[in-house]
Structure 1
Amino acid sequence: MTKINQIICVILLSLTFVSCNFTENIDVQADGSGNFSIEMDGAGLLAMAGDKLGNELGMKNNAKAIDSTFSFKEIFESKKDSIAKLSPEQQSAFKKLESFVMNIKMNPEAQQLLFSMNTPFKKVNDLGGLMESMAAMKDLNGKSNKTAEMFSGFGNDNSKLTFSYDGKQFTRKAIVSKEAMAKIAADSTGMAKMIFASSKYTLKYHFPKAVKSVSNPDALFSADRKTITVEYPFTEYTENPEKLNLNVVFE
């Protein structure tokens, strides 16, 4: 996965100077199953590092677009010997991430650069612990692992994120480690804070039923009230995950 690491390295360096937006999507079906994804919109990178990114992605001069997809299971298979040496807890975290698929789309003509990862789920409640499991990525190659760096803003020990859905209500709740959050607040020069200073984090959830009410007063509704959207500055969200706690009641 050396090529992927090179691509992510270029994206990380460029993110320091431009604003990128992150979206957490959940699409719930009538039976409670659905799809979870996190997307990074890096269109602003094209103006600054389009040629560099194109080269890293293997784009030729006459190419109009590129679409690259790979799975976490592929990454873990290539690192199976290293993973086998980790603790049972760490191995369990990797197992939970195996279903994720990563996709990179770049289209200069359309000014499009999307970096996404998604996974299906059988029950909304199964999504609990996914974000924390991403922190295990750092254990693959240590601090130099660029893939782990890319997910450092999502996977950490600062809070535990849980989800629940019973057809009548939906809940997103971050249980925060006060000690860890105090440490983050004191670190005003951290790399993650510098990279994501002007970025935004958005929740976009679609349900099979119309929404009656949402606990967050900043939530926006689609015309049919089946989709809600909440936007928040990324660094403020990482420093105070409880700001995006939600309780949704359906009609």
Structure 2
Amino acid sequence: MKYISALLIIMLLTSCQVTETININPDGSGTIEVFQLRDENSYLQLGRPYSDSEKFKDTIFVFQDYITKYAVTFAKFNKSDQALFQEHANVKMHIKVDPVQMENFNVISSDFKKIEEIPNLYVSLSLANSLKENYPVSKESFKIKYTFDGFTFKRNLLIVDQQKFDKDKKMLEERKKMYAKYKLAQSYTLKYHFPRAIKSVSNEKAIISSDKKTMTLKFQLSDCLQNPEITNLEVVLEQKDLQ
């Protein structure tokens, strides 16, 4: 089976809503969750009824479960790929497909002690499939790095394989023309909760909650896929909580 990158999977769905949520505690620990939802009304609008392959599924697992279950396959991968699998060992995944209730979503999440330790959750499902099916691991064209020193939070997305990125971008442009006449539900939302009040956000379109501790920033998904660096962000917190 031909490998399809996590980023390309999102693109091919054409009607996906992605929400990246981060909660940071006072000690710098926290949680991250990437929720990918296929909007079923948009999907059916494209004339794509459910196929026999889309049977009911509701699966929850931790990546380490796959490393243990497919230990023989794991041993066949090179040291670099094995190390990549181990980076995702604590990542939790929830995959649900319900044709009757018209639900189709993936939830990928992880706890962290330091935000710099977060692996690229956008490739976790693809890596799990590679391990399960013994597919070659295909590296992504991008990586996301997070940093937080207690007062300044940064999200930096870097293109690490320009050739692959350009290829994916060209395919996206072709699909964008193909579905231009449809009104599809496509969104990419960043929702971050901080332990102190927010002083400033580098993107002026960000919405800050009334208690100033939560920031929400919404993009058009296709814009992010074509120019993912627009999601780069810096959030500066107040030195002291507002009274």
Q: Which bin holds the TM-score, normalised by the shorter protein?
A: 0.7 to 0.9
User: Once the 2 structures are TM-superposed, how far is the Cα of residue 134 of structure 1 from its aligned partner?
Assistant: 5.9
Q: 2:163 aligns with which of 173, 176, 179?
A: 179
Q: 1:231 aligns with which of 218, 229, 234?
A: 218
Unaligned runs of 5+ in 1: 1-11, 59-66, 149-154
CA contact (8 A) 2:18 2:35 kept: yes
Q: Please list the CA deviations of residues 47-73 of structure 1 after superposition, one character each: whole Å capped at 9, or x if unmatched.
A: 9599879x8227xxxxxxxx6422222
Corresponding position of 1:64: none
User: Once the 2 structures are TM-superposed, how far is the Cα of residue 118 of structure 1 from its aligned partner?
Assistant: 1.0
Give the root-mean-square deviation of aligned CA atoms: 3.8
Partner Cα distance (2:122, 2:14) in 1: 24
Question: Aligned partner of 1:199: which letter?
Answer: Q
Q: Please list the CA deviations of residues 212-241 of structure 1 after superposition, one character each: whole Å capped at 9, or x if unmatched.
A: 111112211111111111112223212222
Corresponding position of 1:249: 236
Unaligned runs of 5+ in 2: 1-8, 239-243
Corresponding position of 1:216: 203
CA contact (8 A) 1:198 1:234 kept: no
Q: Output aligned runs, 1:1-251, within 5 Å.
A: 19-42=15-38, 44=40, 48=44, 56-57=55-56, 68-104=59-95, 114-127=105-118, 129-131=120-122, 136-137=127-128, 139-140=130-131, 141=133, 156-177=139-160, 178-188=162-172, 199-251=186-238
CA contact (8 A) 2:142 2:159 kept: yes
Determine what percentage of the aligned residue pairs are the same residue: 28
TM-score for the superposition, normalised by structure 1:
0.71
User: Once the 2 structures are TM-superposed, how far is the Cα of residue 20 of structure 1 from its aligned partner?
Assistant: 2.5
TM-score for the superposition, normalised by structure 2:
0.73
Partner Cα distance (2:77, 2:168) in 1: 27
Change (3 A) 1:84 1:194: farther
Greater alpha carbon shift after TM alignment, 77-86 vs 17-26: 17-26
CA contact (8 A) 2:28 2:113 kept: yes
Task: State the SS of the aligned residue for 1:117.
Answer: strand
Partner Cα distance (2:114, 2:82) in 1: 22
CA contact (8 A) 1:93 1:133 kept: no
Question: Aligned partner of 1:25: which letter?
Answer: T
Change (3 A) 1:227 1:111: farther
Change (3 A) 1:118 1:26: same
Change (3 A) 1:84 1:36: same
Task: State the SS of the aligned residue for 1:187.
Answer: helix
User: Once the 2 structures are TM-superposed, how far is the Cα of residue 112 of structure 1 from its aligned partner?
Assistant: 5.8
CA contact (8 A) 1:18 1:45 kept: no
Partner Cα distance (1:136, 1:112) in 2: 23
Partner Cα distance (1:239, 1:47) in 2: 21
Partner Cα distance (1:192, 1:135) in 2: 24
Question: Aligned partner of 2:111: which letter?
Answer: P
Q: Which has the higher helix share?
A: 1
